[in-house]
Chain A
């Protein structure tokens, strides 16, 4: 009974903190329609600031709190609203999701930058460990003052928020903005001020929650863990449908109590070892469940005038040329490149393959997945289970069995389809089950032969196929409950999934023992997932080349894998299936009324995308042959998504550029400046402390913030200037450039020029090519301009509105109408 009361109080205290955080989230979402993904990070950052003031500089607690919560957080909120959030009105959905995520990474990166030293930032509870005693001496219960304070603060804040929203004039305006910003303005309200006010309040509440929850830890704080802790409040906000503060409060208390009681039942995770990650997973599981179960209204801000986000259709011939060019480029680089850059470029290419899964899913089909690396990690585990098998006790590899069952089921399904016309749907079901059963039987027979755990010295092609099949299945299973979700809600669901898999699988250190009744010794299966703290995958040995011996050859293999999958996607985009994906993206309603079963199409594209991510994950891990849990966490996934969107998520080339940006560019930039600072020690503060750290910690996030101005991705804009070169007129110039580059490469081989000089000059010439072309062959670029003018001329009704009405316009109208030339309009 006593324990029950104590755990209830602890649960209520956590619930109260979640309530503070989640109501802040609701207030900001309600007035702006932007879901602040960075809300948790704001709380985290506030906690670190508080630590700096209170424990770093030993200021008195009240001053530190007031400075953080009443001054810094609200000001930050107002600036945020003014300079970032307001710019997101009327942008496409992915931008609305990605920009707040960039903010999240900016804050977590910033915190690591500032407080990333070796000394721990230790938080202490208010009033230390002082406790009060309830009850007589025999059955006394001790409760820390901190828990009590937390609850009082939560209740007081709830009351305050209620007063602000329902009594003050500003509150009335804020609630009015929720319903209709235009109408509010017409009635004399100021929607912008109300919105700024709500962001000030929201940031402040995130700050309070961050400070309270961080002090409750009574230990060293970690920026990522703390961010995720506040993210737990998102589930409560969804429970309140991002609108109702009362329901949000209820949801928060439920989450707090659930975590606390689970802690109590499971003996703080001691009881069932392999469930030890469950405690931290409860809030995200609830988030997933609420997203799936709760009926929600349409997302606000769906009515967008006309967003220009059309991605051009890739042409087949150019795609083949590009695919070849990528492979040739890396082949050419082989003899001259050093080991360091090889590993970097390989990482970039592997991340590019993983990004391709998002080109398909988001670029082509309009669905959202914020956690590509989660699927990559699952792929890596499957490959390790299949190819290496790390459990000495396992009698046979589970993955092998599942695979054979799946193969059986697939064969059965195909055979069933052949008989479908004659015997109807039943034929398909029966044949699928029968053949799956045959697969299971053959599995036992096969495994009996080879006694299970394969140990290979290299990655096998079968292994890759198994990874693709298993990941496709996992993707479909994840997508199944989430099929109704779109946009933001789908993004949140994948976010929750990523956190869940990280806690339950990537951080899994214990062996899961399964007992099949009446068979064996009581521990029939022993499944090890991440027991050694990592996955280990060897490189393949294909086509007579053992890639384990040569990192350079492996880099070229990765380029070939990217080129092949990329080409496959282009072919897919141009097929009937690709057109259906585009149709589904543009209008699910119209698709349904044409007879398309959207559920099946979505499932298939999720499965395919997950398979690509999984295969990419295997190749990714094999670069350095091992990866630990940190390689696959959500905070590693987010920069990939961001930079892919920046580069252009609708294109295969975007995946290439995104992968290279994530894997190579930012690492290399921080590397270069790190080296520079070593050479010029007097400038260390600039090169190392400022520029290097900038690229290392916050570079990707900054790049993504540019999105607000260029939602189509920067690659498209860059390519626009190169396109005229590929025409008949530009061909001589292109050829000249090719000859130059070839000769230059030859001189590099003869070691007339150094590696770095070669790289820099080549890059410079390539970047300057359009400018050179403009000078040498100006006519190349005129066509584009006249085309543009012609396009503008067709919109006659806009002349005089978009631009001034000129004499030429009148003349052209006269000519079109076959009227005698008029003299009107001469001014």
Chain B
């Protein structure tokens, strides 16, 4: 069963169609990828899923419930979390506080299942491997690590579905490999991950299913092996063969 289902979503910015009747399922417990050239509409689609943007038409369902009209915070409470491509860290707070506050926010809305925010913070920092910079200001750490802080912050809400918007950009190759391991570990624990990423090596190595977006339309979908030889994908990335 697909935990997250996007049906016929269209987004117009003025006369410009950024997303054009996109439908795609994200299976429960899977690690699904979304790739496409710059400006294909990936982040726009993420904004629609997380509720920051209302689609012109179409429907988003989470665990079978229609959430198209729900507010962002209501979706988050249903188990949807995300990171941002253009970093949205809390710059007044340290790395540790950035993560703690997410737990405290969770405690605000999840009355029946309170977590010990401080203890949970240490667990998450350990998990994402940021112990060394935990007390640094978020403006002082490199972008690659800042993206990991965003991941840690999202994890504090104990999400069912995690939307990651280019989490690996700015990371070194070694870091990316570790990051891939981390993603696999998270899906192993039952979190569904929907990943937008430009690093093909990462996407091809961790994703089970990949959707390819170009000019707002899905032009291909399949396993990494299928995508790598898909002619439409090659054309979108490398230009027309003719």
Contact = CB atoms under 8 A, between A and B. Distances in A.
Nearest to B52: A589
A579 B93 contact: yes
Nearest to A595: B76
Contact of A592 (B73, B90, B93): B73
Contacts of A585: 92
B97 A306 contact: no
B157 A586 contact: no
B100 interface: yes
Contact of A590 (B88, B106, B137): B88
Contacts of A310: 91-92, 137, 139
Interface residues of B, number: 40
A583 B90 contact: yes
A579 B100 contact: yes
Contacts of B75: 593
A583 B105 CA distance: 10
A579 B52 contact: no
A578 to B, nearest CB: 10
B117 interface: yes
Contact of A594 (B71, B106, B111): B106
Interface string A564-592: 00000000000010011011011101111
A586 B104 contact: no
Interface in A587-623: 587, 589-598
Given A310-B91, A310-B137, A594-B106, A583 B101 contact: yes
Contact of A593 (B81, B89, B106, B137): B81
B52 A596 contact: no
B88 A597 contact: no
Given A579-B104, A580-B101, A594 B91 contact: no
A587 B82 CA distance: 14
A625 B92 CA distance: 41
B88 A589 contact: yes
B123 interface: no
B237 interface: no
Given A583-B101, A587-B90, A597-B73, A592 B108 contact: no
Contact of B117 (A576, A592, A593, A596): A576
A311 B90 CA distance: 12
Contacts of A587: 88-90
Nearest to A597: B73
B75 to A, nearest CB: 8
A339 interface: no
Q: Which has the most chain B C-beta neighbours within 10 Å: A310, A311, A589, A596?
A: A596
A818 interface: no
Given A311-B92, A421-B112, A590-B89, A595 B157 contact: yes
A459 to B, nearest CB: 36
Contacts of B77: 595
Contacts of A595: 73, 76-77, 105-106, 108-110, 157
A590 B90 contact: yes
A604 to B, nearest CB: 11
A574 B194 CA distance: 35
B72 interface: yes
B220 interface: no
Given A310-B139, A586-B92, A580 B105 contact: yes
A582 B89 CA distance: 11
B90 A586 contact: yes
Contacts of A586: 88-93
A592 B112 CA distance: 20
Contacts of A597: 73, 109
Contacts of B73: 591-598
Contacts of A582: 90, 92-93, 101
B33 to A, nearest CB: 20
B153 interface: yes
A98 to B, nearest CB: 19
Interface string A502-527: 00000000000000000000000000
Contacts of A590: 84, 88-90, 153
Interface in A164-206: none
Interface in A421-437: 421
Contacts of B117: 576
B69 to A, nearest CB: 15
Contacts of B137: 310
Contacts of B82: 593
B183 interface: no
B154 to A, nearest CB: 8
A580 B109 CA distance: 13
B102 interface: yes
Contacts of B106: 594-595
Contact of A306 (B51, B139, B157): B139
Nearest to B100: A579
A594 B102 contact: yes
B54 interface: no
A579 B97 contact: yes
Contacts of A311: 92
Contacts of B52: 589, 592-593
A597 B137 CA distance: 26
B81 A594 contact: yes
A296 B119 CA distance: 43
B50 interface: yes
A596 B102 CA distance: 9
Given A576-B104, A579-B100, A579-B104, A593 B76 contact: yes
Interface in B115-134: 117
B209 to A, nearest CB: 24
B43 to A, nearest CB: 12
A268 B88 CA distance: 53
A583 B100 CA distance: 11
Q: Which has the most chain B C-beta neighbours within 10 Å: A576, A590, A598?
A: A590
Contacts of A306: 139
B182 to A, nearest CB: 20
Nearest to B47: A589
Contact of A591 (B50, B105, B154): B105
Contacts of B92: 310-311, 582-583, 585-586
A784 B110 CA distance: 45
Contacts of B91: 310, 586
Contacts of B102: 594
Nearest to A596: B105
A579 B104 CA distance: 9
Nearest to B92: A582
B103 to A, nearest CB: 9
Contacts of B109: 595-597
A580 B104 CA distance: 8
A67 B82 CA distance: 60
Given A583-B105, A595-B73, 12 more contacts: A576-B104, A576-B117, A580-B108, A583-B92, A585-B92, A591-B73, A592-B72, A592-B73, A593-B52, A594-B102, A594-B154, A595-B77
The 9 nearest A-B residue pairs measured at CB: A595-B76, A592-B72, A590-B88, A576-B104, A586-B90, A587-B88, A582-B92, A579-B101, A583-B90
Interface of B: 50-52, 71-73, 75-77, 80-82, 84, 88-93, 97-98, 100-102, 104-112, 117, 137, 139, 153-154, 156-157
22 contacts: A310-B91, A310-B92, A310-B139, A576-B104, A579-B93, A579-B101, A580-B101, A582-B93, A583-B93, A586-B88, A587-B88, A587-B90, A589-B84, A590-B84, A592-B51, A592-B52, A592-B73, A593-B51, A593-B76, A593-B81, A594-B153, A595-B77
